[in-house]
Amino acid sequence: MMSNIINYVQYRLLFLLIVTTCLFTACTSTTNKTDETAKTESNSKKNTTATEKTPPRKKIPMPSEPGVNLVHFKAADGLNITANLFHINPDWPVMVLCHQARSCKYEYDYTARMFNNEGFNCLAVDQRSGGAELGGNNATAQLAKSQGKSTEYIDAEQDVIAAIDYAFNLYGKKIILVGSSYSAALALKIGNENEQVKAVMAFSPGEYFADRGKTYIQGKMKAFNKPLFITSAKKEAAQCKPFIDEAIAELKLHFIPKGEGVHGSKALWEKTDNNAEYWDATKAFLSKIK
């Protein structure tokens, strides 16, 4: 009798142990699945957020033949921007070329072809703050004036950004942004802030936006961490130095010519006396980022 009672108790204990083990296993499995589901949902949200931060490329039809093409695109305020596209090869890197005050896309007529020879496609832009002083016609500036739009230096920022978007969408590559005088200052600001810009070349940048502070552009350089090339006329070197000093980029070059040089991207013009030394420095920089 006693033996039967003991056996019965042992069986009951064994049964309870088995049931408890099964319940624990089921709970653990459910918890793990819940954790895995939560992780999957979290990762999904992260991926969605990352995608939202980087807008997809909007493909633009590529020119069918190499050459110079007149192209148009819209700025943020709807103004039609005109530019010359010096297209050679869809697989080549691309440069966006921005002119100085009272100038236009033709400031880069010779320079863009030289960049083509070095293996770069180029987009030379007519900005709304410009004119015909260096030859040629600035269609964007004329249109902006006819529409009563402001054409101060800072107003051209949206034109440069629109050009960057156009070049990025066309080639699917981050661009090299080139600026001249006031647009060199814009290039430093935009290059620091725009993820579609991989490097900046600034010819005679300065603090051209006095209404925003005496060190407005210099302040932007404290976070500048992209490849950077700055040059100018020899007499302008001191005004450029703070920009290069403040930049935290690993690759940065301040080229000071031995000759007197000139203001802006005209330093690369064929008729500039010491253009060869500017070109040597420019090509050396480009070879490191191509």
**pLDDT tens-place string over residues 53-99:** 556 788 899 999 999 999 999 999 999 999 999 999 999 999 999 99
Find which of 33-42, 48-57, 71-80 is predicted with most confidence, using mean pLDDT.
71-80
In the predicted model, what is the mean pLDDT of residues 221-244?
98
In the predicted model, what is the mean pLDDT of residues 127-148?
96
Poorest-confidence range of 24-28, 58-62, 197-201? 24-28
Instruction: Please state, in angstroms and rounded to a whole number, the distance separating the CA atoms of residues 266 and 271.
Output: 9
What does the pLDDT look like over 107-137, one tens digit per residue?
A: 999 999 999 999 999 999 999 999 999 888 9
Q: How buried is residue 238: exposed, middle or buried, by Cβ count under 10 Å (0-12/13-18/19+)?
A: exposed
Q: Place domain 67-289 in its CATH homologous superfamily.
A: Alpha/Beta hydrolase fold, catalytic domain (3.40.50.1820)
Q: How far is CA 16 from CA 13, 19, 105, in A?
A: 5, 5, 86
Q: How buried is residue 198: exposed, middle or buried, by Cβ count under 10 Å (0-12/13-18/19+)?
A: middle
pLDDT at position 4 over 80: no
What does the pLDDT look like over 238-256, one tens digit per residue?
A: 999 999 999 999 999 999 9
Where along the chain do its domains lie? 1-54, 67-289
Q: What is the CA radius of gyration of the chain?
A: 30
Q: What is the pTM of this model?
A: 0.81
**pLDDT in the model for residue 66:** 97
Element (H, E) at 117: helix 109-117
Angle made by CA atoms 169, 68, 274, in degrees to the nearest 5: 105
More confident of the two residues 19 and 271: 271
**pLDDT in the model for residue 279:** 98
- The overall average pLDDT reported for the chain is 87
CA trace torsion 123, 126, 132, 133 (10° rounding): -70
pLDDT at position 187 over 90: yes
